[in-house]
């Protein structure tokens, strides 16, 4: 079986570098990958030496091969996204992206600045031919985990971009998550075809004409109710939806804990239902599904949550390996080579003015 090598930006994120390196090592051991860690070599080695004690009894064939590459700076959350290309070319993110382009690894994980990751991926790795915009695809952890695309990369989109997001999300849901004929829903403020702005109305008409399993408009309250497997929207809407769902999950977890630990009777009930409570907690935990995949880029790139802890990173290692080895990018290349997406002007106001996409 092919063993993936995951490139990890070890210096970016709220809890970097300790949680990033600990999680990467744990995930590599558990899911059978190798690692390429980019950052300050002295710091990385100290953390690895400390963590290695946990794996002294592990069989040699389960331990990852680890390469360390040096970087001189870090792109912070406050930096302008373009700085990764213009000034901080010696940063851990810039070097990690370059290494992925050169084939030093199979996928890249970073918990850093979203805009900078998007910029580096788009300008260094480039988009798949035919893809007009790459998009962030987050896995939302509910009873039916679903793909939310776009979850924050593109705040200003056009209808045909949403159509492409739907195709990319469907590929990921099928090839990585194992969902056969994934249901595609368009997030809107009503289920009727005439609801929403011109963007949603035109996107609805485009999606109806595709060979996708399009189930129509989805209201936000239906998202937790197994309404679709891929929820499509612009990045502004998607990021708000994602953060709201994550916030509500934290709220529910906190309230349940308060409820069960309020007195001796409820504490006893908590003991009796501990297994069910743990399952409920896992079903709402965004860490279980890793980070957001940057779909449409020619190489696998995953944006981990900025506040990722070691467990979240370990699960993202699995996600990165699955994505890299799942054939998604090859399939997208084939799909976008065959499919003639169009750039549309006036199609929905009675004017049949269509020209081929220049991408």
Local structure of residue 33 (DSSP, 8 states): -
The answer to whether position 187 is within a domain reads no
Is the pLDDT at 57 greater than 80? The verdict is no
User: Is the pLDDT score of 350 beyond 80?
Assistant: no
Q: How many domains does the chain have?
A: 1
Position 97 confidence tier, pLDDT thresholds 50, 70, 90: very high
pLDDT-derived band at 356 (thresholds 50, 70, 90) equals very low
Q: What's the confidence (pLDDT) of residue 67?
A: 96
In degrees to the nearest 10, what's the CA dihedral of 79, 85, 88, 89?
A: 160
Structure confidence at residue 281 (pLDDT): 67
Range in 123-132, 175-184, 254-263, 315-324 with the lowest mean pLDDT: 254-263
> Which residues are within 8 A (CB) of 333 and not within 5 positions of it... i.e. 6 or more apart?
128, 129
pLDDT of residue 133: 92
Q: Is-above-0.75 flag for pTM?
A: yes
- Determine phi and psi for 203, rounding to 5 degrees: -65, -40
What's the mean pLDDT in 203-231? 94
Task: Residue 256: name the closest of 248, 220, 264 by CA.
Answer: 248
Tell me if 81 is assigned to some domain: yes
Domain that holds residue 22: 1-126+297-326
107 within some domain? yes
Whether 357 is in a domain gets the answer: no
Sign of the CA dihedral 158, 162, 167, 169?
positive
- Whether pLDDT at 84 is above 90: yes
pLDDT at position 186 over 80: yes
Residue 101 resides in a domain: yes
pLDDT of residue 276: 77
Residue 283, pLDDT score: 62
The pLDDT score that the predictor gives to residue 349 is 42
pLDDT confidence tier of residue 293, bands split at 50, 70 and 90 = very high
CATH no. for residue 122? Answer: 3.40.50.10950
The pLDDT confidence band at residue 75, using thresholds 50, 70 and 90, is: very high
Digit-coded pLDDT (tens) for 188-203: 999 998 999 999 999 9
Least confident of 100-104, 161-165, 222-226: 222-226
What whole-number percentage of the chain has pLDDT above 90? 63
Q: Which residue has the higher pLDDT, 356 or 205?
A: 205
Establish if 98 belongs to a structural domain.
yes
- What is the average per-residue pLDDT within 215-237? 94
Structure-model confidence comparison of residues 310 and 334, the more confident one: 310
Cβ atoms of 137 and 169 closer than 8 Å: yes
The reply to whether 162 falls in a domain is: no
Per-residue pLDDT, 358 = 35
pLDDT value for 354: 36
Say if residue 222's pLDDT is above 80.
yes
335 belongs to a structural domain: no
For position 279, what pLDDT does the model report? 74
């Amino acid at each position: 079986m092919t063993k993936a090598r995951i490139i990890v930006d070890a210096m970016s994120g709220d809890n970097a570098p300790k949680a990033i390196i600990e999680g990467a090592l744990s995930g590599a051991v558990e899911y059978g990958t190798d690692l390429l860690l980019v950052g300050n070599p002295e710091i990385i080695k100290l953390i690895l030496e400390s963590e290695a004690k946990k794996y002294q009894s592990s069989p040699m064939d389960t331990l990852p091969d680890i390469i360390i590459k040096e970087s001189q700076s870090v792109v912070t959350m406050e930096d302008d996204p373009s700085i990764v290309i213009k000034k901080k070319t010696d940063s851990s993110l810039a070097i990690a992206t370059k290494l992925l382009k050169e084939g030093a690894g199979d996928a890249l994980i970073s918990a850093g600045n979203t805009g900078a990751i998007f910029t580096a991926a788009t300008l260094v790795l480039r988009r798949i031919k035919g893809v007009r915009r790459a998009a962030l695809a987050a896995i939302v952890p509910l009873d039916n985990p679903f793909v939310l695309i776009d979850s924050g990369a593109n705040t200003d989109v056009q209808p045909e971009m949403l159509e492409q997001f739907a195709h990319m999300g469907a590929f990921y849901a099928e090839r990585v998550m194992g969902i056969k004929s994934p249901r595609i829903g368009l997030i809107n403020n009503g289920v009727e075809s005439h609801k929403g702005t011109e963007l949603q109305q035109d996107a609805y008409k485009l999606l109806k004409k595709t060979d996708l399993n399009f189930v129509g408009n989805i209201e936000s309250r239906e998202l937790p109710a197994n309404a679709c497997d891929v929820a499509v929207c612009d990045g502004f809407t998607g990021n708000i939806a994602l953060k709201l769902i994550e916030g509500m999950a934290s709220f529910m977890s906190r309230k349940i804990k308060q409820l069960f630990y309020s007195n001796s009777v409820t504490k006893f009930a908590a003991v009796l239902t501990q297994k069910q409570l743990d399952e409920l907690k896992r079903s709402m935990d965004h860490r279980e599904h890793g980070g957001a995949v940057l779909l449409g880029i020619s190489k696998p790139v995953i944006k981990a949550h900025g506040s990722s802890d070691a467990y979240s990173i370990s699960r993202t290692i699995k996600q990165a390996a699955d994505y890299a080895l799942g054939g998604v990018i090859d399939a997208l290349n084939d799909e976008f080579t065959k499919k003639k997406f169009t750039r549309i002007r006036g199609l929905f106001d009675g004017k049949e003015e269509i020209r081929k996409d220049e991408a």
